[in-house]
Amino acid sequence: MKFRFTGAFTPRAFAVALASTLVAGLAVAQTQDTTPPQPPVAAAPAAAGEIAIPAAPAPAKSSAWLVMDFATGQVLAGENIDERVEPASITKVMTAYVVAAEQAAGKVKPDDQVLMSERAWREGGARTDGSFSGFPVNSRAPLADMEKGMAVQSGNDAAIALAEHVAGSQEAFAELMNNYAAKIGLKNTHFANAHGLSSPEHYSTAHDLALLGRAFIRDFPEAYAYNSIKEFTVNGITQPNRNRLLWRDPSVDGIKTGHHSGAGYCLMSSAKRGDQRLVAVVMGSDSEKQRADDSLALLNWGFRFYETHKLYEPGQPVAPLKVWKGKVDQVQLGVAEPLLVSVPRGRYADLKPSMEVPRSLVAPIEAGQEIGSVKIALDGEVVAQAPLVALEAVEEAGFFKRLWHALLMWWESD
């Protein structure tokens, strides 16, 4: 084959001629597709002229509220979700989380004998105005029973006793609470005690509390199950769970009530219907009945109008991406964690996926290396996103292929 140059001989002209001659014999050039495949088509596609979802039933009186999808952490509706509120006894969910985490780490055991100290009894026992478990002063009880006394009866005394057993003092335990809160991802929360009584340095937000409830259910389901117990007896005294929804709706299995003069009546609730779970938070209501009514209305609304879908599984190829200077010429991208999305019912087929990936990807590439991201949009708004990772390693090619790819990359970049 002859080369014919019609202009002055330059490196660029030589590159053009060489590329036109050799590219047909080298399987290196490929189209870079930056749009991942559509998720599977919904079983029930959206009907034409779909009616808009009605607004969520905002609580009659509340300082902040929201309803969240458990699987995705997506807030379906809410108001003042990031404004500071007093968490009251919902604080005990954080206390329970820390106790469960320390137990999982082997630092405490369910059959540990926990002391109801004089401090715990005086500050949180029956002689106070707050809720109490009923364990006698200076008595001991298994850690699991003390947890139930805190979860079911909302015992301030049990919360303090658990804090002292786990960390030596309630002050040290509060530091643990804040450390775990940061690990969970609570950004606007600070705990000063284990029980939730009012303190200037004790605060959270409806959003953070929902994230806490979600983490508790996900990470420690056995400890979470204590919150569904309807009544518990200590020292001959039987007390009911203060969460009225446990009696009103069989799908509700938690989570925690709260009340004091500064916080009003509060409720963090969760329910599971089929494969879908929701978390609702209502803060600053004016009665036990109202917080229960408002919470159930939010849960019913969320279940009625939203559905959760798993779009991509870990290890499932989402899209191939061109690789330069590698032994192979493309790498499959996927997600490291399941990618889920919550959407209005009937809108699944309207989801639009897209990818953001580097313009040039050069070997070597490690398996699991983060390459870009996948985003899922509905009506132009991103509703879910996740990092994209390489599903396999790509080793560096030999000298001549790397040289050839360097030439092609130079040509494409010009």
Catalytic residue among 62, 92, 204, 322: 92
Catalytic annotation present for 270: no
Contacts of 236 (CB under 8 A, 6+ apart): none
Could you give the CA distance from residue 301 to residue 54 in angstroms, rounded to a whole number? 9
Catalytic residue among 62, 63, 89, 269: 89
DSSP secondary structure, 29-62, as one string: ------SPPPPPPPSSPPPTTPPPPPPP---SS-
Fill in the DSSP letter of residue 128. S
Alpha helix (H) residue ranges in 197-260:
206-219, 221-224, 245-248
Could you give the CA distance from residue 84 to residue 127 in angstroms, rounded to a whole number? 30
Q: Are 133 and 158 in contact (CB under 8 A)?
A: yes
Label residue 219 exposed, middle or buried (CB < 10 Å: 0-12, 13-18, 19+): middle
Cis peptide preceding 81, ω within 30 of 0: no
Catalytic residue among 62, 133, 154, 270: 154
In total, the chain counts a number of residues equal to 414
Q: Facing residues of 355 across strands? A: 374
3-state helix, strand, coil in the chain (%, to 5): 35, 25, 40
Q: Are 271 and 243 in contact (CB under 8 A)?
A: no
CB atoms within 10 A of CB 167: 19
What is the C-alpha radius of gyration for the chain, rounded to an integer number of angstroms?
Answer: 29
Could you give the CA distance from residue 207 to residue 83 in angstroms, rounded to a whole number? 9
Give catalytic residue positions.
89, 92, 154
